[in-house]
Amino acid sequence: MKPKRILLWMTAILLLAASPLFAEYGDWEKIYSIGGTPGFSNAAFMSLGIGDPDNLYTAGIQQTGGMSITYAWDSHDGGYTWSPLIETSASGEGCDIMSLFSFVITAGATNADSAVFAGIQVSPECIEENEFPACMFKCMFLLEPVVHITTDGGETTQQATITGAGMYNMIMAFTFVDETIGYGAGVPNLLVRTQDGGLSWTKLAAPGNIATYYNDVQFFDANTGYLVSGVPEEEKKSGDSPREKYEELMFALKWMKDPIFRMNWREQHPDQDDKGQLGKFWRTTDGGGTWENPFSYANASFLNIEMVDEETGFILGEPHTGTYPVILFKTTDGGDTWTDISARLPQDLPNVLKWAVSSLAFQPIFGETGFIGGVGQSFSGYQPILFYTADLGESWQFDETVTDLANPIMQLKWANPKTAFTVGFELSVFKYTQENVPPMADAGEDGVGETGQEITLDGSASFDYDDDPLTYHWTQIDGPNATIADPTAAVTTFVVSDPGSPIFQLTVNDGQEDGSDSVTYTVTQGADDDDTGADDDNADDDASPTDDDNADDDDDDDNGGCGC
């Protein structure tokens, strides 16, 4: 690679990170829904776990009969069809009906075949200890956390074990570091960890107190993680009775997870204090052993944390006061300081009377494209709303085309740098497809070598903006003839017999488009091989029957020496 090409490559990298020039905004399509009036059905996908772009898992609720409810689903064709995964049915006889008071609210996936689903259930111990009708009165409001897991792509599910969590604890969000280590965060002051892929979970010491409600969690690795918290009212108003604790939990759940409920509550109670408050951002660098709280904001609940890398991140929240129903913060120093960038979001949305947000997600790898989703209400009913940025949050646009897809959004997630999904009301699924960006080939720096030597060609610095797998192909385009050991390898070698300046071209392909780069080597004549230990012998071979007797022979073989 010539020096000037190095400068061009560095410039391209800077542009790639700083502007949307290389990645045009893509398209959204609705790929699944059960139909019905948007926002008014008895069904919703609330949370999404992505094993890969083809294998998706979701948690939510759908009443399929008078005594039947489905809580989780799986799809193995990229979200176009879904099958029930966790269901419950009650006969209506005895304490059996208690199963209908359980539900699942969040999902996560570690790979194509493994996923976890969390929620709450009526205490099995209470039901076992009390016969009907006593169970109806004693057990109905005694709720405990539950985690379901599948490890075979949804063929079977089982309940995971949870050690240390108590009554009225509930996991609100999952994050996984790899296929074995994951974290769950929830209410009140609940933080759990798995080290076996979700089969068992252990409660950790969390940084807050009994009034701390964690709404989201994110870990980059086993050590570096983040929590955000917030509550719908400053002082919790519950009493000590199971019913009062149940009602407190249900109100918090609806406030944090259901944007329609939050939007309507804000309009119906403009003068009450039951709105977002006590937002806190927490950070750990030792796997949750200790936590620090570098940022708090009393007048908002924090709903989502999205750290694009260990320096740049975003917090999405619900403010306590004002008519603007969202607050958005950005950090560029790892969370030490945060800037309110809410004003960058469009405030007057076409044909939208009121709205609320539900989810924030940024593109993996490069992170320049991000989405904020939620619900809006027009004269004709509820509809989805979606804001997008193509420059890492510097500017935001309102995507009017998404409102035509009809169903309010509950959660957004990226599957890879080119594909994102939303899930929402009426079991709806939207799919986003980013325009492909051609790969960038890097054939390495120009080099030198000698005839007869193996000289390295190194294209390992080539990359694809969309993180697609690359194929490699080396060809010689000029100079003395060279033999390339493996033309399809990222790193290979070549050998030339004659001195000169061979030029090689590397072409990489991401499955859709090519990128090319070239590299030049200056190859000089190798030293007289009589002086090396690789000679065949030390005698003159001119008399050998196999010698060609050319004047350019060396003293003992035909390896191209000077012959002098």
List, for residues 475-523, the tens digit of each pLDDT value.
999 999 999 999 999 999 999 999 999 999 999 999 889 999 999 999 9
Q: How wide is the angle at C-alpha 25 spanned by C-alphas 328 and 318, nearest 5°?
A: 15
Which residue(s) pair with 147 in the sheet?
118
CA distances from 374 to 197, 399, 422 (A): 31, 12, 10
Q: How wide is the angle at C-alpha 177 spanned by C-alphas 311 and 193, nearest 5°?
A: 115
Omega of the bond prior to 20 within 30 degrees of 0, cis? Answer: no
Report DSSP letters for 165-199, one per residue: --TT-EEEEEEESSSS-EEEEEETTEEEEESSTTS
The answer for 140, left when phi > 0, alpha when psi is -120 to 50, beta otherwise, is: alpha
Positive or negative, the CA dihedral 308, 312, 316, 317 is positive
The single-letter DSSP state of residue 20 is: G
Residue 506 CA neighbour count, 13 Å, CB half:
31
- CB of 305 closer than 8 Å to CB of 362: no
> What pLDDT, on the 0 to 100 scale, is given for residue 434?
86
Residue position matching structure tokens 């420059």: 391
pLDDT in tens, the chain (564 residues): 333 333 333 333 333 333 333 467 899 999 999 988 887 888 999 999 999 999 999 999 999 888 899 999 999 999 999 999 999 888 777 788 877 888 899 999 999 999 999 999 888 888 888 888 888 888 888 889 999 999 999 999 999 999 999 888 899 999 999 999 999 999 999 999 999 999 999 999 999 988 899 999 999 899 999 999 998 764 445 567 888 888 888 888 888 889 998 888 877 777 655 567 889 999 999 999 999 999 999 889 999 999 999 999 999 998 877 667 899 999 999 999 999 999 999 988 998 999 999 999 999 877 789 999 999 998 889 999 999 999 999 999 999 999 889 999 999 999 998 899 999 999 999 999 988 888 999 999 999 999 999 999 999 999 887 778 999 999 999 999 999 999 999 999 999 999 999 999 999 999 889 999 999 999 999 875 444 444 444 444 444 444 454 544 444 444 444 444
Buried b / exposed e along 507-540 (16+ C-beta atoms within 10 A): bbbbeeeebbbbbbbebeebebbeeeeebeeeee
Residue position matching structure tokens 């009602």: 247
> What pLDDT, on the 0 to 100 scale, is given for residue 126?
86
177/118 Cα distance (integer angstroms): 18
> What pLDDT, on the 0 to 100 scale, is given for residue 15?
34
332-342 tens-digit pLDDT: 999 999 999 99
293/281 Cα distance (integer angstroms): 6
> What pLDDT, on the 0 to 100 scale, is given for residue 322?
64
Q: Which two tokens stand for residue 43?
A: 């069904």
Pairing of strands 27-32, 428-433: antiparallel
> What pLDDT, on the 0 to 100 scale, is given for residue 153?
96
CATH domain 447-524 topology:
Immunoglobulin-like (2.60.40)
Q: Which of 246, 109, 87, 117 has its CA nearest to residue 169?
A: 246
457/44 Cα distance (integer angstroms): 54
Map residue 149 onto helix, strand or coil: strand
Amino acid at site 414: W
Q: In what order do the strands lie in the sheet with 300-307?
A: 300-307, 313-319, 327-331, 339-340
Predicted model pTM: 0.81
> What pLDDT, on the 0 to 100 scale, is given for residue 385?
95
- CB of 107 closer than 8 Å to CB of 47: yes
> What pLDDT, on the 0 to 100 scale, is given for residue 272?
58
Q: Which two tokens stand for residue 187?
A: 């209410």
32/407 Cα distance (integer angstroms): 10
The single-letter DSSP state of residue 57 is: E
CA distances from 163 to 103, 180, 219 (A): 20, 17, 21
Omega of the bond prior to 242 within 30 degrees of 0, cis? Answer: no
24/11 Cα distance (integer angstroms): 19
- CB of 56 closer than 8 Å to CB of 112: no
The answer for 36, left when phi > 0, alpha when psi is -120 to 50, beta otherwise, is: left
CATH domain 27-433 topology:
Methylamine Dehydrogenase; Chain H (2.130.10)
Domain boundaries, the chain: 27-433, 447-524
Q: Describe the crossing of helices 259-268 and 242-257 by its angle, rounded to 10 degrees.
A: 100
Report DSSP letters for 80-112, one per residue: SS-EEEEEEE--SSGGGGGGGG-EEEEEEESSS
- CB of 406 closer than 8 Å to CB of 53: no
